[in-house]
Structure 1
Amino acid sequence: MTGSETPPAFRLAYVPGVTPAKWVRIWNERLPDVPLTLAQVSSAEVFGVLRAGDADAGFVRLPVDRTDLSAIPLYTETTVVVVPKDHLVAAAEEVTTEDLADEVVWQPLDDTLDWEKLPGRPAIERPATTADAIELVAAGVGVLVVPQSLARLHHRRDLTYRPVSDAPTSRVALSWPQAEPTPDLVEEFIGIVRGRTVNSTRGRQQGAQQPKAKGKRPERGTGKAVGSGPRRGSGAGSGKPASGKAAGKNARGGSGGAKGCKGGKPRRRP
């Protein structure tokens, strides 16, 4: 971003299936003076959008080419198979790829799963989009294996989905163009996504933490703390010896005290 230190808006791209609402809400609470604009971009196009500078950051699906893009993995999605509600698969809580061996499994051109080998029977052609594949499944032709968020995005009343335990998974990440240093607003959004609090966010609103003033230490060479008084019973500061003590030796039998005195009182004369 060029032209000013504080751009007029923060531009966030996201791929289908990702729901950025909670992060956008936190952004609006913390930076109400900086509007955040959203743009949904296909998984195939989102990296080009980031490289071209048309978005400051984006929610993408891994893998990410880290040659010129940075990324923070966020979460891994459950993979599901989408089928008609009256399909046999709908009676199970979870299936495996082997359970789909007799099915035509559609693989749209915008598929986000990294298959080593697609399960089921091969289809004659590949639908252009996930939405097109959903329409074929609804027509009773084949099934579709996708991340759960995409199954929810294309929800239909006549379709349902079940987890596929051994299918590849899709990982969602936050990505942005590499730059030194990272722009302040990107740092702000990274902090929000990572769950940093307002005080810990390393953004433009973060102020330097000032150390608290410490209590005054005793003055060197005085032998006592500033403002401290004499010890109890020490007689310090009075210029007199402590009670019950003679200036010289012990009161009994020592010089400096009256002989034959007891308790500090003289005897009465006979």
Structure 2
Amino acid sequence: MTKFTGLVLIIFIHGFFFQTAFAQDERIALVPLPSVDDFTRGKDGWGLGLGLGIEYETAYEGSDEFGFEIDPAGALQWRREDNIFFWAGEALGWRGLRADTWLLEALVGFDEGREESDSDKGRLDGLGDGEEGFELVLQARRAFAADWRNWLVGRVIAGENGNLGLFGVGRRFGDKFDGSGSEINLVAVLHDSDFANKDFGITAKQSAASGLDETRMSGGFRSLGINYNYRHIINKNWQIFGEALYEHYSSDVRASPIARSNYEAEVGGGFIYVF
């Protein structure tokens, strides 16, 4: 066991045994979905949650290499009735509940781009680093009832390096309305040619430097995916969360020399302390 892992366990055990039990208390989350964090405890004003997450994931889009990554978790939020403004990592945004069955969200984020060094086996050598850029993300979920048991979801990502759309259905498991429990989403993903070439295209210059065939991607169907989210509220301050994702690429994507695998996958989890 590493020193870091030991420290995390000590903090987690301390919070579990020495904080006042709170897991059974119902709180009013903006919506009772584990994937939508709400640290305001149902009250107008500021909410803050900070923690750490660890993921085991593919090294880059289309990679057959996997690795661990540790990232900060949580967000700074400000709530006004059914609206939450938030700052989470490299994203600044807003989400709002309308008519109890519509969850709307808009945010501006930053895409760091792919780097040659993302492949430990040198699979990206000669391709250079991908371009960074800002992205605008618009998302809507439409529940079939106010209990948010089942819903439709749509998301559009518009950025400097292309556009992507996601459409699917989701279902929530569990009976609480505090944001704990689990949910699953099934989605279809589309991309335009710019977004496709950002991840899987190879220019003539890159082909000459890498030895890979020049590849020009067209827009269209990208993948089918399934995503699972879990959140458990231990007490007033401590939460644990988990996520698993699997995305199976279309035949057009799999034809790219960059796609060493037919899928992308990740699994992760972590903890958050709510102030």
Q: TM-score, normalised by structure 2?
A: 0.24
- Structure with the greater alpha carbon radius of gyration: 1
Q: TM-score, normalised by structure 1?
A: 0.24
Greater strand fraction, Structure 1 or Structure 2: 2
Greater helix fraction, Structure 1 or Structure 2: 1
